[in-house]
Structure 1
Amino acid sequence: MNIPIKTLQCFLTLVETGNFTRAAEQLYITQPTISKMIQRLEETLGQQLLIRNNQKVELTQAGILFQHSANQMVGQWHRLQEDISNLTGLKTGRLRLGVCPMMSSLTISLLNRFREKFPGVEIQMQEFGGFGCEQALLHDTLDIAFTALPVTHEEHISSQLLVRYPLLVCLPKDNPFKEKEFLTWEDIASQPFINYNEDFSLAKLISRLSKEAGYKLNVAFRSGQWDFLAAMVEANMGLALLPQPICDRLPQDKLDFKPMEPPLAWDIALMWRNNLPLTPAAKALIDVGKEKFPAISQT
């Protein structure tokens, strides 16, 4: 059975986009070309991989099985290319990097430093929540991810802590806790709470810590955008927990910020799959991260 890597990449892109038109645009080829490639692939395998309905494609059971293997094969090919390119030093290559949308701005200094040191390496960045980053690492569609701890799949994922920020309670200016120096889980549980989307590591951390403290949060809304969370707090729709770098960018005249007792922290890390070899570019990013954040990285 001879299936070109390009066909596997085409199949995976089509599954990811769910649409022939979007896949064609992303791959810079025509829609009829993709259709022919997928048709030949299905003929080669003797199985229907996709269900085509109203411009949308869905995986059959055979397609689900094939997707898993295709991810592994494309990942192995990517790693082989990176290792060969690195024989003469890290001058070229491609880094498949996952980033949580909430912390995109925090990666700028790290990526700028990486670009300065390795200008020939292409950075292919994708946005996921923390759990989504882990899933992409497990499926070998990312080399490394810049996201928040904790890790859900500890047995499969390794991490390098880079920096730690306090988590602060974000409240509207007119709030019932004005005179309090800090807030407790009891205070938080007494109010509507605005949490992050469930695939965010921070959402899982907040849920776990509140349960350990013996309190159930009254989650009124969820969002993956910190500015929308802050806008809902400002509109008196509930309280939220936000990292200090985010709080520093919000209007201080419209919002109030208080620490928690006991203090809560937002840990930012690089994470990768521990049973696969790191690509040279991923290793280099870890080294740059240790240079940028030496206080925690070297402890």
Structure 2
Amino acid sequence: MDQQLLVFLTVVEQQNFSRAAEELHMTQPAVSQYIQSLERATGAKLLERSNKYVRLTKAGEIVYHHAKEIVGLYTRMQNLVDDLQHTASGPLSIGASFTYGEYVLPHIIAHLRTNYPMITPTITIHNTKEIAAMVVNHQLDVGIIEGFYNPGNERVVVEAFAEDVMYVVVPAGHRFAGRQEVDAREMCDEAWIVREMGSGTREVSERFFRTLPQMPNNLMEFGSTQIIKESVEAGLGISLLSEWAIRKELLLGTLHMVCVAGVPPVKRHFSLVRQSTPFQTKALEVFLQLLREDEIYPAFRPKAE
């Protein structure tokens, strides 16, 4: 691997030459020499530095973006070569959107670690759009996203692999709690708590709202499913949430599912996003096979009220 790029990435991410030198087990003058050498090779100043900060120049931003991709490709190449001689092992970088990442993925990782202890996963949780972008930029080996979001890049493959059902949920004591069905017109007058734009959950919520007589005009945007659940329990409003996310609250009776008359259950798919390549590490192959095993998902189905 090009040592100049590795040193450059470390300086940028540590935002400090001294911390970068410590992480790389090098002297600070040696780090400075690598940066100067890279700047001479590129013919541009890459970093603005002072006693207090290190910042990327415009040219530095370009080099940083491509250096991340180059280092990611090199690491992947080395892992593939290592796999020829070994069983499934090594690092596996996984990204997931919030619902799947917070409520399903931990159980799958536990299974993975029990059966393949030499695989060392790292997890990134973000919204669907950001996870897809990180796969495109080789920052993740695989992403799990909501829906069938297409990042618009021919280098990646998007594959639906699991189905999720979403329900309107209300807090205990709400006027809808305990009713067999609620008229769709009543839904329009409620305060709704929704995810931010760019979230797969938000896209499904918008699709659900289009089935109502009119668009609800009282929407509050929150940045995670957990915050939304807490807010619904506190009586701030109602929401449309994944069945996987509300299992515990249904059992405890703090949330109640509501059926909307004339509106079918809201379904969506979770999809895998990965690089379009015939070569995969054994660690990634094992993980993908595990995700595709249908017997994992019935455990996450809540009991109907």
TM > 0.5 fold call: yes
Is 1:193 equivalent to 2:192 in the alignment? yes
Say if 1:21 and 1:276 are closer, same or farther in 2 by CA, change over 3 A. Answer: farther
Q: Is the 8 A contact 1:197 1:203 kept in 2?
A: yes
Structure 2 gaps, min length 5: 299-305
Report the alpha carbon displacement of residue 138 of structure 1 after superposing the two structures with TM: 0.9
Residue identity opposite 2:90 in structure 1:
G
Taking structure 2 as the reference length, the TM-score comes to 0.78
Report the alpha carbon displacement of residue 263 of structure 1 after superposing the two structures with TM: 0.8
Q: Is the 8 A contact 1:92 1:121 kept in 2?
A: yes
Q: Which range is displaced more, 20-29 or 231-240? A: 20-29
In structure 2, what is the Cα distance between the partners aligned to 1:48 and 1:180? 66
Structure 1 gaps, min length 5: none
Taking structure 1 as the reference length, the TM-score comes to 0.79
**Matched residue, 1:109:** 107
Residue identity opposite 1:71 in structure 2:
K
In structure 1, what is the Cα distance between the partners aligned to 2:259 and 2:290? 31
In structure 2, what is the Cα distance between the partners aligned to 1:77 and 1:176? 58
Say if 1:258 and 1:96 are closer, same or farther in 2 by CA, change over 3 A. Answer: same
Residues 166-222 of structure 1: CA distance to partner in whole angstroms, max 9, x if unpaired?
A: 211121234343464345765443322211132322122322443476753436332
Alignment RMSD: 3.5
In structure 2, what is the Cα distance between the partners aligned to 1:30 and 1:186? 67
Residue identity opposite 1:268 in structure 2:
F
In structure 1, what is the Cα distance between the partners aligned to 2:31 and 2:165? 48
Q: Is the 8 A contact 1:20 1:34 kept in 2?
A: no
Say if 1:55 and 1:230 are closer, same or farther in 2 by CA, change over 3 A. Answer: farther
Residue identity opposite 2:281 in structure 1:
T
Residues 15-66 of structure 1: CA distance to partner in whole angstroms, max 9, x if unpaired?
A: 5x47338974994657946555444432432212234578555433212322
Q: Which range is displaced more, 234-243 or 183-192? A: 183-192
Q: Which range is displaced more, 211-220 or 266-275? A: 211-220
**Larger Rg over CA atoms:** 2
In structure 2, what is the Cα distance between the partners aligned to 1:234 and 1:249? 12
In structure 2, what is the Cα distance between the partners aligned to 1:146 and 1:225? 16
Q: Is the 8 A contact 1:148 1:202 kept in 2?
A: yes
In structure 2, what is the Cα distance between the partners aligned to 1:26 and 1:239? 50
Q: What is the number of equivalent residue pairs in this alignment?
A: 292
In structure 2, what is the Cα distance between the partners aligned to 1:138 and 1:246? 28
Say if 1:67 and 1:192 are closer, same or farther in 2 by CA, change over 3 A. Answer: same
Q: Which range is displaced more, 210-219 or 248-257? A: 210-219
Which of 138, 150, 174 is equivalent to 2:148? 150
Which of 87, 90, 96 is equivalent to 2:87? 90
Q: Is the 8 A contact 2:88 2:119 kept in 1?
A: yes
Trace 1:245-264 onto structure 2 (pairs within 5 A): 245-250=244-249, 252-260=252-260, 261-264=263-266
